[in-house]
Homo-oligomer: A and B are copies of this chain.
Amino acid sequence: MIFDLDLRSRDPIYQQLVDKFKELIISNILKQDEQLPSVRVLAQQLTINPNTIQKAYRELESQGYIYSVKGKGSFVDATAQVENRAALKEIEGELMKLMKEAMFLGLDKSDLKKLVDQAKEESGGGIAND
């Protein structure tokens, strides 16, 4: 489990952790029901405070990416993502904003559609369908 945290970033550490884990789950590197490192172990590995890990895990759980069981651990929950309508709406809004900005900066529709294909290949495209 390798994490390249940037302690000097404006992005909080817990947010970086959330993003990293999301990527690992989305790209299916962490698989369904696979156990995440424990709060204490990961904190020791990264030499940061356990509370920070806990905050990241709590966030991941509230977003439906993992589930935690007292006494057992935290595990990947890659099911039922489709039900997360609110999150999807938010992401669509962000996507629209970024796409408009990208177009303003010189990209055109075909460039963006290539990005779509690329995103598909790099994530579910090669993994979820096998």
Contacts and interface: CB of A to CB of B under 8 A. Distances in A.
B81 A106 contact: yes
Interface string A92-125: 1011111111111111010011011111101110
A55 to B, nearest CB: 14
Contact of A26 (B101, B115, B118): B101
The complex is assembled from copies of this chain, and their number is 2
A129 to B, nearest CB: 11
A84 interface: yes
A90 to B, nearest CB: 10
Given A82-B106, A116-B116, A117-B109, A95 B88 contact: no
A105 B84 contact: yes
Contacts of A58: none
Contacts of A97: 19, 23
Interface residues of A, number: 39
A2 B97 CA distance: 19
Contact of A95 (B25, B82, B99, B104): B99
Given A26-B104, A113-B116, 18 more contacts: A19-B97, A23-B97, A23-B100, A25-B104, A26-B101, A26-B103, A81-B104, A82-B105, A88-B106, A95-B95, A95-B98, A95-B112, A99-B116, A103-B124, A104-B124, A112-B116, A112-B119, A116-B116
